[in-house]
Amino acid sequence: MQVVQATQVEKTYQAGATAVHAVRAMDFTIEAGAFVAFVGPSGSGKTTLLNMIAGLDRPTGGRLDVLGVDVASLDRRRAAAFRGEHLGFIFQDFNLIPVLSAYENIEYPLLMVQEWPAAKRHEQVLKLLAAVGMADQANKRPDQLSGGQKQRVAVARALVANAKLVLADEPTANLDHDTAYNVLALMKKMRDELGTTFIFSTHDPKIMNEAERLFTLEDGRLAQTAGKALAHA
Amino acid sequence: MLKVVRLAVRNLTRYGRRTALTGALIVIGVVAVLLFVAVTGSFKTLMVGQITDSYLGSLQVHRRGYVASIDTLPLNLNMAPGMAAKVDEALKAMPEVQAASPRVKFAAMFSNFVETTSIRVNGVDPERETATEPLLAGRVRNAIKEGPLLEPGQILVPTLLAAGLKVKPGDTVVLVATNREGSVNGKTLVVRGTLESATGPGGRDGYIHMDDARELLRMTTPEVSEFAVRLGELSQVDAVIGRLEAAFADLRNPQGRPALEVHSWQQLSPFANIAKMIDLMTLFIKIVLVAIVLVSVMNVMVMAVYERVREIGTIAAIGTPPGRILALFLSEGLVLAVAATVVGVLISVAAVYALNRAGITYSFGQQSAIELVARLRVLDVATVAAMVVGIGVLATLQPAWKASRMDPIQALRHV
């Protein structure tokens, strides 16, 4: 099953009188269960592509289907509902809510986005806490956690609502090398256990090797693809 | 909704000092307004009660033109017996009317056989006057005997006049008056007691029995200068006046105009203007409170949104509906306003209790040692609370709307 199908996808920004081509005529597909990395230098279009897949931004040309939905057709409210139901996010700066504990941060999507019943919610949060190895840190607030622990909580938050696709923009950029590998290993483990598709962006050559499929971007173009047969360019 | 409120409470504790300062500002505003309302409200109620229950009544009925010439107490504008009887009948038929007292008012010379001065006199039926003006008896000082307000042959003399002419209760004095035909007559009376002054017109009048008044003025028929009327509720004044005017519509003067006029206490007493001033000041202080709440809550919420742009971007990105983001920020304003209002009301109640325990007294006009009895009405508390909470939510609306409409991409990029 194709999770993402991009057909001649383009994104052009207008910066004053200048048109900036962030993404140019990209074609690719990503299958379910893939562990994919968008790699490339800053300004190559990685984040823009992730934002469009997330329905946070709209292509200005071509067609981008995510989980069978043309994301350009979603208005603001339906895009939010789509993200809440199907997608998970991991951010470079973790972006945990500082007044909530690790448990509550993981619980947030189930409480404020999907409205799961309390008992089911509790069971799911405990399951994810255990899966990411944070069960003993459940009551700590983000300022009491290390960078790696925060990102583990963020991974659990991204997966707690049974997301089919997790998007991670530079998830290891603020972590030391060992921790970065550990977080990627955790993401891969969760993919193996839950079958969730992971797409992450990075410009770190060591980290990108952890991906099973690489999309190399240069100046908004898809320059190269490499890896196993889970992704097809 | 509860989960949104819980998260709002958590968010308010994030910047505890700022939240506390804003809350304190609202608390101070609420306390200031409620104390002002409690003190001035009770002052107003007390003064209105003094005026209406000790000499003016809730409303009065006169012949047309009498009030316009009231300084001269014109006997030629008295109601004829037939007209007075109709008025009395109409008043008795109204369920809102608790009591009505007919009066004969006139100007006279008051003499202690050595010195003479002028005096305004009310001839009254003691029983009906006491029923209409329940506080009148309380103004009598050093009465020579217990019992009704007055007996025939007695006079209640204003305290200041008694002191000026060195007249004491039990002394015999003379009243000399000119009747409508211009005949002068005199009558000796015993001073039953002195009458403490009250603020406003009529507050320094003397009182004699109606029979004595009619004898002194040589009235052959029972004329009446005015009816003072006491209503069960002062708030009914306007409605009752309307119905009385309708009931008196068939009584016309030779010019074909209504022969009678009905005036509310507000129209007869200058204190009504002071009462209006108090209401106006209350309104102004409420406006100041609105400004305090509006500016302080808006400030704290604008800052909250500004400082949490990335967080708003995050919760929007993970799928929080815009309406829920709006509700989250609105709840923060609501919780802040409600908490500050509750604290403000509790402090106000305690302060009112402490004020009343302290037994503060003050003077007003000729009256002294009036005890301040501050009273917080549930309606006042509810009005102020609703106002603060409403304005608090209103002040949050703009920042909350801005948060809910934020572009997640821009918000996530915010440094």
Do the beta carbons of residue A9 and residue A59 sit within 8 Å? Answer: yes
Residue B35 or A175, more confident: B35
Q: How confident is the model at residue A225 (pLDDT cuts 50, 70, 90)?
A: confident
pLDDT the model gives residue A232: 40
pLDDT the model gives residue B199: 62
Strand B172-178 to strand B184-195: parallel, antiparallel, or no bridges (unpaired)? antiparallel
Q: What's the 3-state SS for chain B?
A: CHHHHHHHHHHHHHCHHHHHHHHHHHHHHHHHHHHHHHHHHHHHHHHHHHHHHHHHCCEEEEECCCHHHHHHCCHHHCECHHHHHHHHHHHHCCCCEEEEEEEEEEEEEEECCCCEEEEEEEEECHHHHHHHCCCCHHHEECCCCCCCCCCCCEEEEEHHHHHHCCCCCCCEEEEEEECCCCCEEEEEEEEEEEECCCCCCCCCCEEEEHHHHHHHCCCCCCCECEEEEEECCHHHHHHHHHHHHHHCCCCECCCCCECEEEEEHHHHCCHHHHHHHHHHHHHHHHHHHHHHHHHHHHHHHHHHHHHCHHHHHHHHHCCCCHHHHHHHHHHHHHHHHHHHHHHHHHHHHHHHHHHHHHCCEEEECCEEEEECCCCCCHHHHHHHHHHHHHHHHHHHHHHHHHHHCCCHHHHHHCC
ipTM (interface pTM)? 0.88
Residues in Cβ contact with A114 at an 8 Å cutoff, skipping those fewer than 6 apart = A84, A85, A161
Kindly state the average pLDDT of the residues B108-115. Answer: 93
- The pLDDT > 90 percentage for chain A reads 55
Window A:25-44, CB contacts with B under 8 Å: none
Co-location of B85 and B207 in the same domain: yes
Q: Considering CB atoms only, which of B10, B11, B314 is closest to A95? A: B314
Tell me phi and psi for residue A4, to 5 degrees.
-130, 135
pLDDT the model gives residue B90: 93
DSSP letters spanning chain A: -EEEEEEEEEEEEEETTEEEEEEEEEEEEEETT-EEEEE-STTSSHHHHHHHHTTSS--SEEEEEETTEEGGG--HHHHHHHHHHHEEEE-TT----TTS-HHHHHHHIIIIIS---HHHHHHHHHHHHHHTT-GGGTT--GGGS-HHHHHHHHHHHHHTT--SEEEEESTTTTS-HHHHHHHHHHHHHHHHHH--EEEEEE--HHHHTTSSEEEEEETTEEEEEEESTTEE-
pLDDT the model gives residue A220: 87
pLDDT the model gives residue B366: 56
Co-location of B29 and B69 in the same domain: no
pLDDT the model gives residue A228: 55
Residue B215 maps to a domain: yes
Q: Which residue of B has its CA nearest to A78?
A: B321
Co-location of B196 and B302 in the same domain: no
Please write the tens of the pLDDT for every residue from B321-341: 999 999 999 999 999 999 999
pLDDT the model gives residue B15: 86
Q: How confident is the model at residue B191 (pLDDT cuts 50, 70, 90)?
A: very high
How many separate domains does chain B show?
2
- The pLDDT > 90 percentage for chain B reads 62
- Rounded to a whole number of angstroms, the distance from the CA of B409 to the nearest CA of chain A is 7
Does the pTM surpass 0.90? The reply is: no
pLDDT the model gives residue B278: 86
Contact B319 A84 (CB under 8 A): yes
Q: Considering CB atoms only, which of B10, B313, B319 is closest to A109? A: B319
Residue B138 maps to a domain: yes
Domain that holds residue B378: 2-50+273-412
Kindly state the average pLDDT of the residues B270-291. Answer: 86
pLDDT of residue B7 exceeding 80:
yes
Domain boundary residue among B171, B202, B231?
B231
Residue B139 maps to a domain: yes
Co-location of B368 and B400 in the same domain: yes
Please write the tens of the pLDDT for every residue from A49-86: 999 999 999 999 999 999 999 998 999 889 999 999 99
How far CA A34 is from CA of A5, A91, A124, in Å, comes to 13, 19, 24
Contact B324 A112 (CB under 8 A): yes
Residue B304 maps to a domain: yes
pLDDT the model gives residue A230: 42
Q: How confident is the model at residue B55 (pLDDT cuts 50, 70, 90)?
A: confident
pLDDT the model gives residue A207: 83
Co-location of B71 and B216 in the same domain: yes
pLDDT the model gives residue B227: 96
Co-location of B101 and B199 in the same domain: yes
Contacts of A51 in chain B (CB under 8 A): 409
Tokens of A178: 């060992």
Co-location of B217 and B150 in the same domain: yes
Handedness of CA B203, B208, B210, B212 (dihedral sign): negative
* Residue in A47, A87, A97 to test binding to B, most B beta-carbons within 10 Å: A97
Contacts of B316 in chain A (CB under 8 A): 80
How far CA B9 is from CA of B13, B15, B170, B322, B393, in Å, comes to 6, 11, 74, 19, 15
Interface check A95 vs B, CB under 8 A: yes
Residue B248 maps to a domain: no
pLDDT of residue B202 exceeding 80:
no
Distance CA A113, CA A84 (A): 6
Interface check A113 vs B, CB under 8 A: yes
pLDDT the model gives residue B33: 92
Domain boundary residue among B197, B231, B265?
B231
Residue B199 maps to a domain: yes
Q: How confident is the model at residue B365 (pLDDT cuts 50, 70, 90)?
A: low
Kindly state the average pLDDT of the residues B13-19. Answer: 89
Domain boundary residue among B171, B198, B231?
B231
Tokens of A154: 């963020």
Lowest mean pLDDT among B127-136, B198-207, B273-282, B306-315: B198-207
pLDDT the model gives residue B14: 87
pLDDT of residue A231 exceeding 60:
no
Distance CA B134, CA B199 (A): 16
Co-location of B210 and B82 in the same domain: yes
Co-location of B39 and B81 in the same domain: no
Q: Which residue of A has its CA nearest to B16?
A: A99
Q: Which residues pair with B174 in a beta bridge?
A: B111, B188
Longest dimension (CA), chain B: 101
Please write the tens of the pLDDT for every residue from A10-55: 999 888 888 888 999 999 999 999 999 999 888 888 999 999 999 9
pLDDT the model gives residue B200: 57
pLDDT the model gives residue A233: 42
pLDDT the model gives residue A229: 45
Residue B260 maps to a domain: no
Co-location of B213 and B96 in the same domain: yes
Do the beta carbons of residue A88 and residue A161 sit within 8 Å? Answer: yes
Kindly state the average pLDDT of the residues B174-188. Answer: 93
Residue B254 maps to a domain: no
- Rounded to a whole number of angstroms, the distance from the CA of B3 to the nearest CA of chain A is 8
Interface check B365 vs A, CB under 8 A: no
Contacts of B317 in chain A (CB under 8 A): 54, 56, 83, 89
Co-location of B219 and B149 in the same domain: yes
Please write the tens of the pLDDT for every residue from A70-129: 998 999 889 999 999 999 998 888 999 999 999 999 999 999 898 899 999 999 999 999
Q: Which residues pair with B157 in a beta bridge?
A: B194
Q: What is the mean pLDDT of chain B?
A: 90
Of B289, B277, B342, B349, which is closest to residue B47 (Cα–Cα)?
A: B277
Co-location of B132 and B226 in the same domain: yes
